[in-house]
Every structure is written in structure tokens, then in C-alpha cells.
Structure 1
Amino acid sequence: MKLLFSIFMTFFKLSPITFGGGYAMIPVIQREVVEEKRWLDEEDVTDVFALSGSIPGAIAINAATFIGYRIAGIPGAAAATIGVMIPTFSIVAVLSFFYLFFSTHPKVEAAFEGIRPAVVALIVYAAWKMRRSAIVDKTTFIVAASAFVCLLFLHLHPVLVIVLGALSGVLLIGARDRLGMRTAIDDHEKQPDYFMGADI
């Protein structure tokens, strides 16, 4: 129960202080889960965010659910999900009421002018932090660069880009294995399956 309460309070605390939501929450969650609590390592968290962004739903809630499950199974997933949703729901309900009356106020508009670039900075910071475990060799660099080009210039749907990334990873790693070339995954120990869940 102590672990479940800690998971709940961690995400309950993170949710209301992370402006921008979604991808802007990644560096905050990463710092808390990896550096502060040491529940998961950086590679685990990177995989969780990749999986969370490739399925329907808000990435912050998906990530909280997966991380909670990885730490303490189904009870952990429930604790993390409830923890991240309660503050968000409450704040959105209150802000929606006040936004109707103050959305055109000069100071409110000025505040949003500052919040928007700050959110962009958070997302860029998250990408910079995740690069160490995501881009580990020339193959992964090529996949990342190709995905960026597809999103920026070809305007492909993000889900399609993720699917193409998965396929290219399987094909490229398979080709390198057949050629007898070492890959980055050969240098990592096998990570535990996310869907096994840890004991509470």
C-alpha cells in the first residue's frame, strides 16, 4: 500500500504543475521516475513514452498508466492514472469557467504569450534528454531523421510515422544481423517485459 500511495502522490503532484500537458510532461515525469524515485531507468521510460504516443488517448495519462503498471502491476496503473487525472480534471473545470469571462483580458492574453514558447522549450528539452537512449547508432539516427522529414515536409500522420519507424527498425536490424554486423541492442541486456508488472 505504501508503494501504491507513493505512485498516486507522485502523479497527483506532477499533474497540476506541468503546464502544457502531453509531451511537455515528459521531462518532469522522467526526472521524477528515473532520477528521484529510481523506479525505472531512462531506457524504460523512453520506451514507455514511445508506446504511449503511439496509441489513442492523452500521452500523459497513457504514460502514467504504463509507468504505474510497470512499477506495481494493475494496482499501480490505477493509482498512477487516478493520480494524474484528478488534478487535471479539477483545474480544467475551474479554468473553463473563468476562461469564459477573462479570455480577452490583456493580462491573460499576455500570460499565454509567455506560456506557449515555454511549452515548446519543454518539448525540445524532452527530446534532447530522450536522444541518449533513442538514438544510439547510425541506424537509429537515420530512422529519427527520416521520421522528422516525413512529419515536417510530407505531413504524414504521426501514427503512420510510428508504424513506419517500427517496420524500418525490424528490417534494418534484421538486415544487419544477417550481415553479421553488431547492433546497439546487442550491447543491452534484455529488459523486463512491460506487461509482466512488478510485485507490489
Structure 2
Amino acid sequence: MIFFLSILSEQYRKFHRLSGIIFLSLFLFQASFPVEIEAAKKKKSSKVTINLPQTLILKEFIKIISEHTGTVFVYEEKNMRGQMSITAPRNFKVSAEDAFYFFEKILASQGLAMVRKKGSKVVEILTAADARFSRLPISKDGGKVNAKGGNYVMRLIPIRHADLKGIQSTLQPIFSKTGALLVYEPMNMLIVIDVESNVS
């Protein structure tokens, strides 16, 4: 009996701790309402010239994008072992915004993703699995996100007059493999975690 109560107590502590984390995230979201997702703010009219070799090491590509977009990238060396083949014309002219979009797609092909904090020029490059559960920017339902963006975000969707668990079970089979679909029953909230292009 004591052993059984000990197990129940441990499970309760884990649930209580998880509930506390989610509640804190929701509280911070409400306190800073409305929250806008920070996007790369580059002038569309400005063009940069990029010369890319046919074979490119991922770390070299990150350096090129950093120099042309003014973005600081933070990453772990063990995740930067990728090598890719690129076909592009010499003196390729592209806007900084498009260069960043191209970079996001290259990272995705290597199983990596970016997490940008609000108001910061520093971008973390993480594995897609780690990016889903890092300290993500939060977007309210209907909030603006970059439809082409590859940054991971968390979207909070209040559900009214519908079964929360039922919605989750219906959407789960068709949900993106790169994201996560969670529910927070105390506030009847659906929590969507994925890249911006999938939650826009």
C-alpha cells in the first residue's frame, strides 16, 4: 500500500510540475499580450551578391548567410557535419530576405531548424527535435507569423464549445511530423508547436 501511494505521489508531482510550466508559459503570454513574432527585418529592395561553390560545407554556408544578413548564429559543432551540392549562377543577386528563406530550407533538409527570440538578432540552430521543445516565441490564435518562415513557434488556440481531446485525436494523424500537437485542459487550450510556415 505504501509503495502504491509512493507511485501515485511521484506521478502527481510530475503532473503538477508539467502543469506549472505550461501555466507559466500561458501567464507570460497573457502578460505580454499581444505578442508579435520577430521576423528578419530586411529591406526587400536591397540585393546582395552571393557566389556559392558547387560543394558547400554547412558551417561555411552559415558564415556566408551571417555576413549577408547581419544575423548571429549559435549552434553545436556536432550538428554541423552536413555537406551539400548547390547549383546557382555566379554573382547570384538575391534579397537578404530571400537568402534567409533559402537558408531555412537548406537547414530543414539537414534535419535542423532555427529558433529566434523576440527582439533578438541571435538565432539558435538546433535539431528539429530539440527546436520543438525549446523556449519558443508564443503566438496567440490569429497572430501574425511569417508564412515562409522556418523558425519554430508555439501557437495557443482557445477551444470553445468543442471536445478538446476529440480535436486533438482528429488532427493528430494528419499533423506535421516536424511539430507537436498538445492540449492544456485546465484552460481548454490547443497548443500547436511547429515551424511558422506550418502554423500561419
TM-score (norm 1): 0.28
Q: Which gives a bigger RCO, structure 1 or 2 (Cα 8 Å, sep 6+)?
A: 1
Q: Which of the two has greater strand per residue?
A: 2
TM-score (norm 2): 0.28
